[in-house]
A and B are shown apart, each in its own frame.
Chain A
Amino acid sequence: MKKVLRVRISEHVVAKDHERLKSYGLGSCIGLVIYDPQKKIGAMAHVLLPNAAGARARPKSAKYASSAVNLLVEELARAGCGGKTLLAKIAGGANMFPEKFNLSCGGPGRSIGERNVRAVKAALARRKVRLVSEEVGGECGRTVEFNPRTGEMIVYKSSGEVKVI
């Protein structure tokens, strides 16, 4: 029997064997997975913001892109997964209110979703974790499910489309 572990905003969860990791209704948030394909252990974070604003930030939180990557790498190391074999997959980072961000409508030009995607990618590069696949951007909400045994991430888009990355 598979067991689904839910990952809410700003949370992170580690899973193995028959466990699945699931984040519901990602808009501009990112469902970030880092996993060890040999040990078949994976961890998911539900990232809300690209980075912490100033000194108010809590450093160890899955809320922010960079701290989420660090947190997942450390959690996986604790679970016995080596740094070099780790792979990453990401989904989300959509622009839910296109008019709010478009330059033509007086927006900042780059949506929070795009900024989240960039920040997660930069953080992965810093920790030398290879990003193997992604399903990001657009204007569509997503629910994601990750299977640590197969390394597959199922992306259910609100349009009805289902993708396996």
Chain B
Amino acid sequence: MPVTAEKLSHAQEDALQELCNIGMGHATTALAQLMAKTIYFDIPRVSQVRISRVPEIIGGARQVVVGVYLRFSGPINGNILLVFPKKSALMLRQIMTGDNSKKLAFDEYNTSMLKEFGNILAGSYLSVMEGLLKMRLVHSVPWFAFDLASAIVDPILVELGKDADESVVIEAEFFVRETPELKGKFYLLPDNRSVKMMLEAVGMGGAG
């Protein structure tokens, strides 16, 4: 039988939210240095949903978006996905390279830049997790896709769906205040068993 995750208590949700808060704080600081712009992020949201509902959380099939995906592994395993509206992904290029051309294609240069953005964000986020959870984590290279959000999330649901029907989704929106169109969303989807380990590592295991 698939692992039926125990319902998270409010205190456990708060703990996961705070972990994300600290991780995002660190990661956006690292990105701000790269972009010479302050990056803000909204209070993270934690939800526990059926896997079939995850595509709607990520953005459904209404429009094509940019997705940068990484897997991380170690004592805990999971997925990090960044989702950018198309316009934001292109603005990111302008900001990071000074290239103001309106060309909308994602060429190799553009995609590697977005992947590097994901690499830095995920790397600094995970280094904070390593410190807080007292464990070593490694992450994959970033993978790029430009497609429907619900199609992009499929490979992640494949990983999560192998041994569970539910998933914990931790999300945080990040943005540049002086350029409101420049925004994206960070998603952390830990494998089912890892959620428990993350909570135990911060003393929030058990019944909460």
Contact = CB atoms under 8 A, between A and B. Distances in A.
Interface residues of A, number: 31
Contacts of B76: none
Chain B interface, >50% SS class: mixed
A27 B69 contact: no
Contacts of B150: 24-25, 27, 141
A142 B52 contact: no
Interface string A140-163: 111100000000000000100000
Interface of A: 8-11, 24-29, 46, 48-49, 53, 56-58, 63, 94, 96-97, 99-100, 105, 112, 139-143, 158
Interface residues of B, number: 32
Nearest to A95: B155
B138 to A, nearest CB: 14
Given A96-B147, A99-B143, A27 B64 contact: no
B157 to A, nearest CB: 6
Q: Which 9 A-B pairs have the closest CB atoms?
A: A141-B151, A25-B150, A27-B154, A25-B61, A27-B151, A24-B61, A97-B143, A141-B148, A8-B52
B143 A100 contact: yes
A73 to B, nearest CB: 22
Contacts of A46: 52
Interface in B166-203: none
B2 A56 contact: yes
A112 to B, nearest CB: 5
A140 B155 contact: no
Contact of A25 (B141, B145, B149): B149
